[in-house]
A and B are shown apart, each in its own frame.
Chain A
Amino acid sequence: MLGLRSSLKGSLRALNSQSRLVSSSAIAAKSTYRTPDFGDYLKEKNDADKSRSYAYFMVGSLGLLSSAGAKSTVETFITSMSASADVLAMAKVEVNLAAIPEGKNVVVKWQGKPVFIRHRTTGEVDEANGVDMSALKDPQTDADRTKNPEWLVMLGICTHLGCVPIGESGDFGGWFCPCHGSHYDISGRIRKGPAPLNLEIPEYEFDGEKLIVG
């Protein structure tokens, strides 16, 4: 064992004297290796700024394409979560207001629920405005409940237990729920009976002669 080690040492020392196994900078500085002349292969007017800008531009362009792709992928998933056109079409209902004479009620079905539309007379509007707020269980002015005082649009579901009130009846000249006797006034506000809240107002807008609920 000892003999083997001493013989290895001797052979390494012998090797060291003639050639190097590992190079080091101190020796490399003295190296006789001659760097080849690459001049023939270099561009004549090599612009380092230009080639660097070109490289960065290509990297940036790839990033642009990937980020645009990623953005559109994410957008696709997000838009797939929103309601489709057929669902949206079912979610709205259009009513021709010209066909409703003054002082008449119309009931339309919107998303499976009845919607009361009343073309109110000026007398009814005055009546709705003349109500004392302190007399109301759920105080709301008539202006809060209508976009156009001539037209009252509201969900025809009693806020008590969800029956459909009957129009043009009750003690207050509005609606009356036959189930438990809730009386609503001409603005759909609860006046008497067990219902806690005024009849709900859906989202709606006027488009000329048409009313769009939803």
Chain B
Amino acid sequence: MAFSTIYNVFFKRNSVFVGTVFAASFVFQAAFDSSVTAWYEAHNKGKLWKDVKLKLAEGGDDEDEDDE
């Protein structure tokens, strides 16, 4: 049965169990960080500095003159 295989591979030895948990936490953190960043940037599209920077580069000089 599949579940007994899972048990024998991952859970039977505590060293393997804890090792898997720690290794997975590294993967999880990277995945979590990138997914949250991707969501945040999609949610705030157009308001972020990297978007504004492009806009300023296109018509940057005019805006400066308007301010002054």
Do A and B interact with each other, yes or no?
yes
Q: Does A5 contact B (CB under 8 A)?
A: no
Q: Which residues of A contact B21 (CB under 8 A)?
A: 60, 63-64, 67
* Interface size range of chain A in the complex: 10 to 19
Contact B25 A56 (CB under 8 A): no
Number of interface residues of B (CB under 8 A): 18
Q: Does B7 contact A (CB under 8 A)?
A: yes
Q: How far is the CA of A68 from the CA of B23 in the complex (A)?
A: 10
Q: How far is the CA of A7 from the CA of B3 in the complex (A)?
A: 63
Contact B7 A52 (CB under 8 A): yes
Q: Does B17 contact A (CB under 8 A)?
A: yes
Question: Contacts A53-B6, A53-B11, A72-B29 known; A47 to B1 CB distance under 8 Å?
Answer: yes
Q: How far is the CA of A72 from the CA of B30 in the complex (A)?
A: 11
Contact A60 B17 (CB under 8 A): yes
Q: Does B40 contact A (CB under 8 A)?
A: no
Contact B11 A68 (CB under 8 A): no
**Interface residue ranges of B16-30 to A (CB < 8 Å):** 17-18, 20-22, 24-26, 28-29
Q: How far is the CA of A49 from the CA of B10 in the complex (A)?
A: 13
Q: Does B15 contact A (CB under 8 A)?
A: no
CB nearest to B8 among chain A residues? A49
Q: Does B39 contact A (CB under 8 A)?
A: no
Q: Which residues of B contact A67 (CB under 8 A)?
A: 21-22, 25
How many whole Å from A186's CB to the nearest CB in chain B? Answer: 43
Q: How far is the CA of A189 from the CA of B61 in the complex (A)?
A: 48
Q: Does B4 contact A (CB under 8 A)?
A: yes
A-B contacts besides A47-B3, A68-B25, A68-B32, 20 pairs, CB < 8 Å: A47-B1, A49-B1, A49-B7, A52-B7, A52-B11, A53-B7, A53-B11, A56-B7, A56-B11, A56-B17, A60-B17, A60-B20, A60-B21, A60-B24, A63-B21, A64-B24, A64-B28, A67-B21, A68-B28, A72-B29
